[in-house]
Each structure stands twice: as C-alpha cells, then as structure tokens.
Structure 1
Amino acid sequence: MSVLGSEMLFFNVQNGYLEGIIRGYKAGLLTQSNYSNLQQCDNLEDLRMQLSATDYGNFLSNETLPLSTSTISQKSSQTLVDEFNYVKSNASEPLSTFLDYMTYSYMIDNVILLITGTLHERDTHELLDRCHPLGKFDAMSALCVATNVEELYQSVLVETPLAPYFRSCLSASDLDDLNIEIIRNSVYKAYLEDFYDFSQSLGDPTASIMAKLLSFEADRRSINITLNSFNTELTKEMRNSLYPQFGRLYPAGTYALARAEDFDQVRAACEFIPEYYHMFDGFSSNNTDSDHNNSLEDRFFAHDVLLNKETFLQQFNYAPFYSYFKLKEQEVRNIVWLSECIAQSAPQERRAVPTIF
C-alpha cells in the first residue's frame, strides 16, 4: 500500500465520519439565493420564515414576538455551538486537541470582555451573558473582581489553558484601556504562534493548509494593530512586540509595519504580497472607515472566506474542521447584519451583505 493510501486509510478510521459530518454542515451554509431572499424581507418575522426554509429550520419557532436582533444573534450563534459540541464530543486525538485550540480564541475574547467591562463598571451579569459559549470556563465570574494582571493570573487564569499565554503579560501594571489592548494582542500573539506550531506538528496536508490560514490571521492582526496604533501612546517598539512571529509578512513586512507612520506606509509594507496590497485600493488616510460595505475589514473577511472555502478542495486533513466553523461564524455575522438593517428599516441598497459565500 502506498504512503498516501495508508494515510488516507488511517485518517478515515479515526476521523472519516466526522469529516463527512463537517462537509455535510458546509453544504448547508446559506447560498447567494438564500441571501437574496433575506435581503428582501420587510421585517424580522419575514426573516424568520426565510431562515426556516434553510438548515436553520425552526430555531426561532419558540421565540415570542416581536423578535429582536439580540435573540436572532443568540440563537444563530447557538447553532454553531451545538454543531461544534457534537463534533468535539465525538472526536479523538489529535482532533480533540485541535478543536480545543479553536476554543482558546473565544476564551481570550471573553477574558478581555470581562476585564474591560469591569473597568468601565458594566453589570457583571450582562457581561457574562455576552460571553461566547465556546469560550466559557469555570471561575469566569472571578475575573470581574481582579484589579491587576498578577491577581488576574493567580486567582483565575493559572488553572486554564490560557495560562501560558498570559505569563508574558505579568509585567503589565494597572488594567487601563491601553494596557488591556496590549494584553489582548500579546496573548493573541502567543496563542496564534502556539496553534501554528501545533498544526505544523500534525504533518501534511494539515500543516501546509493551516499554515496558509493562520498566516493570514497573523498578517491581518499585524496590519490592524498598526492602523489602530496611530495617534495613540503605543510606541513603535511596543507595536513591533505585538506582531506574531510567523506569516507571509514576517519578517520583512512586519519590520516595515513597525516603522509605518500613516496609512500609505502600511499599504507600502504589504506591496510584495499582491492580494494584501490590492485590499487597500480605493482607500486613503482620510477614508478608511467611511464606507462599511467596502471597508478594509470587510475585504479581510472576504479573503478569509475565500481561503476557508479552498480548504474543502482537499481531504484527509484537519483544516476543514477549522474552516467550517470560521465560515459558520461569518454566516452568523451576516444574519445579524441583515437583522439589524431590517430592524432599523434601512433601505434595501444598504442591506448588501458584507461577505457572502
């Protein structure tokens, strides 16, 4: 038996059933036709009826009228969570660890949400309700009483999978807005580098596909960190320390980003990667956020969707598990965006979905 045949055989023994489930889930994602129908809805009840004809089924059937966008957001997110939990409960190693890594990003977001909300004296119960279900863990509520990073780490995070990522942040002092953003990006950098190393240990084709996906995520974060640092107290040295140390921009592109002083210099730093460089077309230092439908962030999302769709062209690897839930997450964002437009009676030309499949 060939090496490839052996690899295919053993992959299917352990993961063939779940890969089939994931590909079935992917076939149920909303299509262009579905989005066109949703864009024509006059109210949220119409949107519910349109969604009931898709794989979402009657997920809103027990909700009282009138529907709210928060309910639609919560229930559509729960479909993602239910699918993830089903796959996770049936996974064996190394897929189960791979799926664990996917939850760490939600855990990081939840931690930052809680400490930021506490800083601004938001209601604890409201903050906990806003936390993503895939990122919840025991003792989360204790985050709301921490007053510094050392206390945050020793009282709560030391017993979680995030502990190694937070160790590098213990030198931070007060939990103010700037330090929290530095912590967020430092932790996410450590997480992405760890996830990248783990995915590379799985061998090809998983390693090569995940390298492509995670490299784009690392590059996107480096670009966003740079753009968001202008006119702030974040120094160029601090900015450079927050860039993940892998990706297509690393090291030459991140070196240029660390020294960029305006939007045009950020674009110039991406010049040697055409697909990144052309994402800046039509923008300048004065209009980067002026048009939601054509914003730079939407173009990043669109490219991310393209990369994740391409993942399904190959079989016998773990990347489709990552890509499906990224596509599903974008679909939930699309549904919430349309719900908000409909609830606010926005004209149909404003209901163009930023990213579709």
Structure 2
Amino acid sequence: MEGLFFNVNNGYIEGIVRGYRNGLFTGANYTNMTQCETIDDLKLQLGPAYGDFLASLPPNPSTSSLAAKTTDKLVSEFRYVRANAVGSLAKFMDYLTYGYMIDNVALLITGTLHERDTRELLDRCHPLGWFETMPVLCVATNIEELYNSVLIETPLAPYFKGSLSHQDLDELNIEIVRNTLYKNYLEDFYQFVNTNPEMSGTPTAEVMSEILEFEADRRAINITLNSFGTELSKADRKKLYPNFGLLYPEGTLMLSRADDFEGVRLAVEGVSDYKSFFEAAGLGGGPSGPSNMAGGAGSDGRSLEDMFYQKEMEISKGAFTRQFTFAIIYAWVKLREKSATSHGLPSA
C-alpha cells in the first residue's frame, strides 16, 4: 500500500536519482583508471561521467581541482533534486545536509585552533553543509560562544541542547562537540524516519533504519577505540554513543566499560557482521595493539575501517533493490561521494 500514492509527489525524483545512480563507476571503469599514468589520463577516464564539469580545467590539473569538480557535480545534482522535492521528502533531504554542516563546524574550529588561514578553511568546507554564519565560526573561543553567536540560527541548534559548557575549544573539546552533535543528529534522523506518517512502516523507514543503525554502531565503536590513551573518561565516552543501533543497549554498555581492544571485541560479539570484521582484521583471538586496530591490515589485507566502508557500500547498493523509498537518495549521495574518493582523489 505504501506505493499507492508514492509516485504522485515522488515518482519523478525516484526516476531521476535512479538515472544518476546509473552514472556511477563500474568495475571496468575502475580497472581502466588503475592504468592511468598521468592526471590527464585520469581526467579523460572521468570525462563520460563528469562531462562539462571538467571542461574548464586546464591540462594536467591538480588532484584537488579535479576533486572539486567531481564534488560540484554531486552538489549540482543534489540541489536539482532538492528543488523538486516536496513535503516529507524535502525535509528528508535537509537531514542529509546536517552531517556535512557538523563536519564543516569541526573543520573550521579545528583549523582556527591551529591558526590556519580562514579563506583556505572555508574553501575546504563541503558545499552541502554551508550556512550563512559559517565564517563567524573562525572567531569563536569557547563552546558557549560558538552556540550563541553562530549555531543558534542553524538547524544544528537543537543538537546542542543539554550539552553546553563554558569550556575552551581545545582538541579534545572540539571532538566532544563534533561527536555530541552527530549523536543527537543521528537520533533525531532515526526518530524522523520512523515516526513521520509518510515514512513510518514503509520501505523508507526499513532501509533508513538499517543505514542509521549501522552508522550509530560504527561511531560507537570508533569513539571507543579512539578514546584509549586520551583524557576522555568512560562516563563522558558513554554520553557520545547514539541511543539506538544493533549494539544498543547491551553492546554499548560494554563498550562504555571497555579498557582495551579485547573489551571492544567482546562488546560487538553479539552482532555477527561486526564480530567477523574483528576476526578478519586479526582481532578475534585476544588483545591487540593500536597499530593493528586503527589502520593495520588483517590476513586478507583489509583494515577494520576498510570493512566498515565495504559494509556501508553494500547497504547503499542494496537500497536500490527496493521501490518507493526515499532511502535511495541517501544511498546515491554516499555512493557518489565515495566514488569521487575511490579513484585516488582527495575528498573535497
């Protein structure tokens, strides 16, 4: 029944996004790109997918310029879809931009802390996460000022509720701010797709719940691993975990108590995918060192982060096997974004 009236308002957009998805790179495209010897060779391979967006580039452009153009195409397509979206779909697409806003906030205040050039920082911000007061972030000196002078007029304002303090913006506090915003954002997004009358009980809620639960679990695991050896207390660490996901509540409780990598491994054993990730990364038989955990490869040459990445792409591709769902827009954005970085280009 969920598809009975779906096409009235959303059929055109679903068709457009499925068409965009067909423009993503195939295995053959990636094989061809591995044979490229110069940046012009790579530009030539990207031509069919990115067309006019690369036409203004000079011969032998920098990789950053090439990456910026691939991002421009994503942004252009996203804005076209958003301009044609109505009702709940329009709000759904707004939620997709909030994650980029959070990343931009973290980038700007971290760069300011390290006395980076403001113009350079603004150029590095993702266009989908732009908001008018963003340049003012570069003069904020503490968390309360950051909220009162900048974020109170943005969609991120509700995510600061109950998490304000007078602390200065040092490295640790910036990460706490970033992860607090993400926690509240993911919880809000999860509630939105599961309670909105147009989405509750539909394929959109089903697919997006899987996507957001995976993201919540991944963040909880990464926060725990990255907290070892830092000043972040277990109590503060627990506050950063989203209150949903396949690990919630027993797994996240165990994560909050973990003292080492073995504790993390035990916490995720109840979810077969995560358990297999740890085993494949060489972490299934006992405590392991941080180098193996963070970026080291397991017996098959993949790190834990590689396996999380692969799982995210599998979920995103699987979304396109469903009909009458907003989730394909989220999946398309993730697949398009990852395809821009998978062929050796830096993220813009």
Q: TM-score range by the shorter chain?
A: over 0.9
RMSD: 1.4
Deviations 1:167-190 (A, max 9, x none): 233125111111111111111000
What secondary structure sits across from 2:87 in the alignment?
A: coil
Q: After superposition, what is the alpha-carbon deviation per residue over 1:113-144, rounded to whole angstroms, capped at 9, x for unaligned?
A: 11111111111001000000000010111111
The whole-number CA distance in structure 2 between the counterparts of 1:291 and 1:276 is: 16
Answer yes or no: is 1:41 the counterpart of 2:36.
Answer: yes
1:290 matched to which residue of 2? 296
- Please show how residues 157-236 of structure 1 align to structure 2 within 5 Å: 157-201=151-195, 202-203=199-200, 204-236=202-234
| Structure 2: gaps of 5 or more residues | none
Match of 1:245, SS state, is coil
Q: CA deviation at 1:339?
A: 4.4
In structure 2, C-alpha distance between the alignment counterparts of 1:172 and 1:248, rounded to whole Å: 34
Letter in 1 for 2:6: F
Aligned to 1:346: none
CA drift of 1:283 comes to 2.8
Matched length: 332
Contact between 1:308 and 1:326, CA under 8 Å: does it hold in 2? yes
Give me the whole-angstrom Cα distance separating, in 1, the residues matched to 2:166 and 2:321.
44
Indicate the percent of aligned positions where both proteins have the same amino acid: 55
| Contact persistence 1:172–1:179 (CA under 8 A) | no
Could you tell me whether the CA contact under 8 Å between 1:308 and 1:323 is conserved in 2? yes
- Which of 4, 8, 15 matches 1:20? 15
The gaps in structure 1 that reach 5 residues or longer are 341-357
Letter in 2 for 1:290: G
Please identify, of 289-298 and 185-194, the stretch whose mean Cα deviation from structure 2 is larger.
289-298
Q: Equivalent residue for 1:91?
A: 85
Distance between the aligned counterparts of 2:246 and 2:3, measured in 1? 30
Q: Counterpart in 2 of 1:69?
A: 63
What displacement does 1:223 show? Answer: 0.3
Corresponding position of 2:110: 116
In 2, Cα distance between equivalents of 1:332 and 1:127: 20
Kept in 1: contact 2:281–2:297 (CA 8 A) = no
Q: Cα offset for 1:291?
A: 4.1
> How far 1:69 sits from its partner (Å)?
1.0
1:59, CA displacement in angstroms? 2.6
Q: 318, 328, 337: which one pairs with 1:310?
A: 318
Separation of aligned partners in 1, 2:62 and 2:323: 40
Code of the residue aligned with 1:16 in structure 2: it is G
SS in 1 for 2:10: helix
| Alignment check: 8 A CA contact 1:227 1:263 kept | yes
TM-score by length of 1: 0.90
Moved more, 13-22 or 255-264: 255-264
Deviation at 1:9, TM superposition (A): 3.1
65-74 vs 252-261, which moves further: 65-74
